[in-house]
Structure 1
């Protein structure tokens, strides 16, 4: 920060020089003017002296004229090269006053509108933190300096969670979701923080957040893990196993948390067996491949940014989608895969229903339940392995 102020001081001196140089030049001009006035006074005194000498009979008229001419030449020689003084309508006090007020005003405006705090934060973040508390304090200052930056709020919320400050984390994630949009990952983090802030009490608010997150992204890991924890705490061990198995399928093979997650699944299975129950056998995961395209008529009317929802729903069963993908018109044509991993709820999987229908809907408002155009397939077995062709070609009747 010292080098910043040194640079600012140097620039200030340069600015002051433009204000003070005219004042210094004015003083020089004043000195030259004073010297000219003195030479004129000496000339007049010499002329008066010569006149006295003529009156006394010392000089005749010719000698008087010669002496006057010599005095005039000396006056011209002394004043030669002297510039005519510049006239200033501003006067001298105004530049001096400006020289004082400009730096003071500039410093005040910088401290009010400037970014010295952000400069300092940049320098701080270039150095590794000495502790978790130090890192949290830096993130707090960054969030205060940039309150409209959701990324800073996200990392601050994660830092609060690492310090068991879940209530503060929930508020921070809520602010981040308001700024960045209700992104699935933010909703999952918000739900988790709210759950622990409520002393691990499941609430309608937490349920709504996890439902919304999984509706947007059925593979959202934080929501899947949280639902598994809540199910285990509520002694709904089969649900916990189902959620954690879905989460396990998302984790890379080298992920260190896989062992702990598998341990949780094993404990849930033991508790289920001790209660006289049995772990439901894991069904073979269903997966459908579908290529989605637009008819020529719809292609001429749809906008590249319009949302496209591709989903499968049971022919005989609940109307809720069994698996969902969200794209845009700009992504079409495209081939996607809908499977059990894309289920929004553990009990609503493709593999749980023998017959399904594929649907693709364009919604300019981004609503999966209503839109402008739609395409539907004929009923097909959920075990189908061949790629299905689906064309969006009809108005979506409300």
Structure 2
């Protein structure tokens, strides 16, 4: 901010120079005029002295004329080069008054209409904050300087939520909605902040906000998560499972929150079963593809394999890329074993079980530990990736 005021001061000096230079020039002209008047007075005094000497008989007429001519030459020599005096209608006080009023008026107008606070905020945001409190203070000043900025309000609301200030966040999100419109994401954030601000008490207002958000966007994640939390707190475990499964579908495979969300679904399922209920099949299907497979070794092969031989169990698309969609690795010593293959076991994010309607289960024994080649193999018939019934897979054939 110091360099800004230095630059403003330099510009002010330049502006004042245009006002003060004419005043300084007028002073110089006045000095020249005063010197000219003095020379004229000296000339007149010299002429009077010559006349006195002529009257006393000291000088004759010729000497009088010569003395007068000499005095005139001296006067002309002293006044040579002096410009004619200029008359100013404004007078001397006007430029001096302007020199005082211009900076005062300019400073007053800048403080009233200027943006020094925004300049300072821009400088602050160019440097990383040292703490969350400092970041919050910067956002609060940004909102004060730009009250019509929906983006600044949104980030301030999110910051309040991370600081466990839901009541403040709810007010900020309400202002954001009024500025930016009733966008589904903003409505979900507002509803979530209001829910925690009200002490986790559900209300008609929160219900209306989540309903409006999901009507505009059925995949709005904040509203889905909030409705799941409210249903779980209200012991409506089936609804919690449904909302959280819908949310799980929106998250990418590498999202870290998937683990916590799956844990919540598992707890809701346990409480539902403990209370005597059963999980609806539709809710199970929405968790994504999940195949439960029991793998065993054919009796006539048990003497032909070693306990440390690797066993690769995977699912691949019947019509699609040959790469495995999901895989697990065991050893012969682990058999028989039951494993689950699902979207969480995807080898690549874009190749998930749920992305392919039909798959085949494969189990391979490889002494060299190579999943693509081995000695013995077992294959299943093609089945739907949405199959929920447990499958049995027996390793019983040479791998060719």
Q: Flag whether TM exceeds 0.5 (same fold).
A: yes
Name 2:75's counterpart in structure 1: 75
Name 1:202's counterpart in structure 2: 202
* Alignment partners' CA distance in 2, 1:172 and 1:86: 66
* Alignment partners' CA distance in 2, 1:2 and 1:24: 31
- Report the alpha carbon displacement of residue 66 of structure 1 after superposing the two structures with TM: 2.0
* Alignment partners' CA distance in 2, 1:130 and 1:257: 27
Name 2:257's counterpart in structure 1: 257
Unaligned runs of 5+ in 2: 287-400
* Alignment partners' CA distance in 1, 2:270 and 2:85: 103
- Report the alpha carbon displacement of residue 172 of structure 1 after superposing the two structures with TM: 0.3
Q: Deviations over 1:43-97 (max 9, x none)?
A: 0011111111211222222221222122112111111111112211111112111
Name 2:343's counterpart in structure 1: none
Q: Alignment length, in residue pairs?
A: 285
- Secondary structure of 2:281's aligned partner: coil
- Report the alpha carbon displacement of residue 282 of structure 1 after superposing the two structures with TM: 3.1
Q: Deviations over 1:305-337 (max 9, x none)?
A: xxxxxxxxxxxxxxxxxxxxxxxxxxxxxxxxx
Q: Deviations over 1:212-238 (max 9, x none)?
A: 111111111100100111111111111
1:119-158 mapped onto 2 (5 Å cutoff): 119-158=119-158
- Report the alpha carbon displacement of residue 193 of structure 1 after superposing the two structures with TM: 0.3
* Alignment partners' CA distance in 1, 2:196 and 2:117: 33
Name 2:9's counterpart in structure 1: 9
Name 1:106's counterpart in structure 2: 106
* Alignment partners' CA distance in 1, 2:126 and 2:214: 37
- Report the alpha carbon displacement of residue 158 of structure 1 after superposing the two structures with TM: 0.5
Name 1:239's counterpart in structure 2: 239
* Alignment partners' CA distance in 2, 1:274 and 1:142: 51
If the length of structure 2 is used for normalisation, what is the TM-score? 0.70
* Alignment partners' CA distance in 1, 2:255 and 2:116: 41
Name 2:280's counterpart in structure 1: 280
Q: Deviations over 1:175-217 (max 9, x none)?
A: 0100011111110000000000010001000000011111111
- Report the alpha carbon displacement of residue 144 of structure 1 after superposing the two structures with TM: 0.3
Q: Deviations over 1:355-398 (max 9, x none)?
A: xxxxxxxxxxxxxxxxxxxxxxxxxxxxxxxxxxxxxxxxxxxx
Q: Deviations over 1:111-148 (max 9, x none)?
A: 11111111111111111111111111110000000000
* Alignment partners' CA distance in 2, 1:85 and 1:214: 85
Name 1:227's counterpart in structure 2: 227
Name 2:49's counterpart in structure 1: 49
Cα RMSD, aligned residues only: 1.1
Greater C-alpha Rg: 2
Runs of 4+ in 1 over 6 A off after TM superposition: none
